[in-house]
């Protein structure tokens, strides 16, 4: 216990309290507007669907609140509760060398955390998602997914952790800078390889080949210089009824992915509009911009870790007596989210700005009306709330809430509306 203990507790309590309060606001706001479909959607969305969205959002907020409390309790158990110190003590007695024992400590701690996460995760999938008719994941698939994730984590994570620990021990005072270079190279490589190497381990990706769409899509792709190919359909229906579309990767590995669930309900005009939106992300270089910001953030994180790793108060303040570099890395991973939560609203704002830019691009390339129709279907199918709380949304949402986004698109419509 020292001054840092109190600082950490203050941040943990404040962050948890704010997150709980925001989730409660969201829940209350959605339930308050449950009785009627909001004006701009009144003739497009049934009351029953609106009420399902309200109930679903409310259930998700309850789950989020539980998650916040359990997460804070786990963090306390690992740190001040002595969980990490106990595990570090076991590895210190193992008799293995520094890097082996350190890698073992980090991997065993992260795997334990993942195992402790399973009950909450399974409850989300098999109880909440299932109650609203969204879940398609079988228990078998759930287990297979977990095993695959574990194997990928071991294959990719273990060498990375060992290399980082080696740098801490042997690269001198600038280890954190080399560590950041390694980390950034790893992140870029993962981002590059993910669409073609990792994602197909979990889902099937088929190139979009629709005769009725083909010419228009090729035209659109030419107009924005995307190159041919790279438009895929993913079998999202394997796990969930939720539908989506996203843009990922860069260079030759860039791709736009449609979930089969979404594609099924969209008309050709609407598919073209959604594709134009995703191409807007490509055109504006959003993926590149985000990668630059993330790597600057991780540079700051490594620089701070470079100081903390040699500070006795950092370990003792968080309940660790068995000091090691591996323990410092784990403590840093555990407590950082509570200190960086203040950046969340800025990051969300920036992401929403990108969504507006991509919507503007789609409105310029296609008829904005088609994107509006597609979005309404997307909100309906995902039971997204049409009446989110302003503060919750400003803090958390990476996409503008439905009414804001549709109002923005409507303002782009060239033709005046007929009254």
**What contacts 226, CB < 8 A, 6 or more positions away?**
254, 279, 282
Could you tell me which stretch among 139-147, 179-187, 220-228, 356-364 binds Zn ion (CB under 5 A)?
A: 356-364
Phi and psi at 239, nearest 5°, equal: -115, -30
3-state helix, strand, coil in the chain (%, to 5): 75, 5, 20
Interface with Zn ion includes 80 (CB under 5 A)?
no
Distance, CA of 37 to CA of 35 (rounded, Å): 7
Catalytic residue among 278, 355, 380, 389: 278
Are 299 and 176 in contact by the 8 Å Cβ rule? The answer is no
Q: Closer to Zn ion by CB, 184 or 244: give it.
A: 244
Q: Closer to Zn ion by CB, 221 or 320: give it.
A: 221
β-bridge pairing 245-248 and 255-259: antiparallel
Catalytic residue among 359, 380, 381, 389: 359
Q: Closer to Zn ion by CB, 101 or 358: give it.
A: 358
Burial of 316 (0-12, 13-18, 19+ CB in 10 A): middle
Asked whether the CA dihedral 192, 198, 202, 204 is positive or negative, the reply is: positive
Q: Closer to Zn ion by CB, 282 or 395: give it.
A: 282
The C-alpha torsion from 63 through 64 and 65 to 71, rounded to 10°, is 110
Binding-site member from 101, 358, 386, 409 for Zn ion (CB under 5 A):
358
First to last CA, the chain: 69
417: DSSP letter: P
Q: Closer to Zn ion by CB, 61 or 409: give it.
A: 409
Burial of 35 (0-12, 13-18, 19+ CB in 10 A): exposed
67 is catalytic: no
Q: Closer to Zn ion by CB, 359 or 367: give it.
A: 359
Could you tell me which stretch among 190-198, 211-219, 310-318, 348-356 binds Zn ion (CB under 5 A)?
A: 348-356
Count of residues near Zn ion by CB under 5 A: 2
359 is catalytic: yes
Distance, CA of 235 to CA of 261 (rounded, Å): 8
Sheet bearing 255-259, strands edge to edge? 205-207, 231-234, 255-259, 245-248
Minimum distance from residue 368 beta carbon to Zn ion (Å): 15
Q: Which helix (H) or strand (E) holds 391?
A: helix 390-396
Distance, CA of 203 to CA of 236 (rounded, Å): 7
Q: Closer to Zn ion by CB, 355 or 389: give it.
A: 355
Phi-psi region of 29 (alpha: psi -120 to 50; beta: other; left: phi over 0): alpha
Return the active site residues. Answer: 278, 359
Residues forming the site for Zn ion (CB under 5 A):
355, 358
């Amino acid at each position: 216990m020292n001054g840092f203990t109190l600082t950490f507790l203050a941040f943990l309590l404040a962050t948890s309290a704010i997150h709980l309060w925001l989730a409660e606001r969201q829940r209350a706001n959605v339930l308050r507007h449950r009785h009627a479909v909001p004006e701009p959607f009144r003739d497009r969305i049934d009351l029953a669907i609106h009420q399902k969205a309200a109930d679903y959002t409310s259930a998700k907020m309850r789950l989020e609140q539980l998650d916040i409390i359990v997460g804070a309790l786990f963090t306390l158990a690992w740190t001040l509760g002595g969980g990490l110190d106990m595990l570090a003590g076991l590895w210190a007695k193992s008799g293995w060398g520094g890097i082996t024992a350190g890698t073992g400590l980090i991997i065993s701690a992260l795997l334990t955390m993942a195992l402790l996460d399973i009950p909450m995760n399974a409850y989300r999938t098999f109880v909440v998602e299932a109650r609203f008719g969204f879940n398609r994941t079988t228990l078998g698939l759930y287990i297979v997914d977990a095993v695959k994730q574990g194997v990928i984590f071991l294959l990719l994570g273990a060498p990375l952790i060992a290399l980082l620990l080696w740098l801490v021990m042997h690269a001198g005072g600038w280890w954190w800078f080399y560590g950041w270079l390694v980390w950034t190279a790893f992140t870029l490589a993962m981002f590059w390889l993910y669409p073609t190497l990792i994602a197909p381990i979990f889902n099937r990706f088929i190139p979009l080949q629709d005769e009725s769409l083909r010419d228009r899509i090729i035209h659109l792709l030419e107009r924005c210089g995307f190159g041919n190919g790279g438009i895929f359909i993913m079998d999202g229906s394997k796990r969930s009824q939720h539908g989506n579309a996203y843009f990922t990767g860069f260079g030759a590995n860039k791709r736009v992915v449609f979930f089969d669930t979404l594609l099924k309900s969209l008309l050709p005009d609407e598919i073209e509009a959604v594709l134009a939106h995703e191409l807007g992300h490509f055109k504006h270089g959003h993926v590149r911009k985000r990668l630059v910001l993330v790597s600057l953030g991780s540079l700051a994180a490594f620089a701070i870790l470079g100081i903390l790793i040699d500070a006795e108060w950092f370990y003792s303040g968080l309940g660790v007596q068995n000091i090691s570099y591996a323990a410092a890395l784990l403590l840093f991973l555990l407590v950082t989210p509570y200190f960086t939560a203040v950046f969340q609203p800025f990051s969300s704002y920036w992401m929403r700005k990108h969504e507006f830019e991509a919507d503007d691009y789609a409105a310029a390339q296609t008829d904005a009306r088609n994107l509006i129709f597609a979005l309404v279907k997307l909100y309906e199918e995902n039971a997204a709330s049409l009446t989110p709380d302003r503060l919750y949304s400003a803090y958390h949402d990476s996409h503008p809430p439905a009414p804001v986004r549709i109002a923005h698109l409507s303002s782009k419509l060239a033709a005046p509306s007929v009254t």
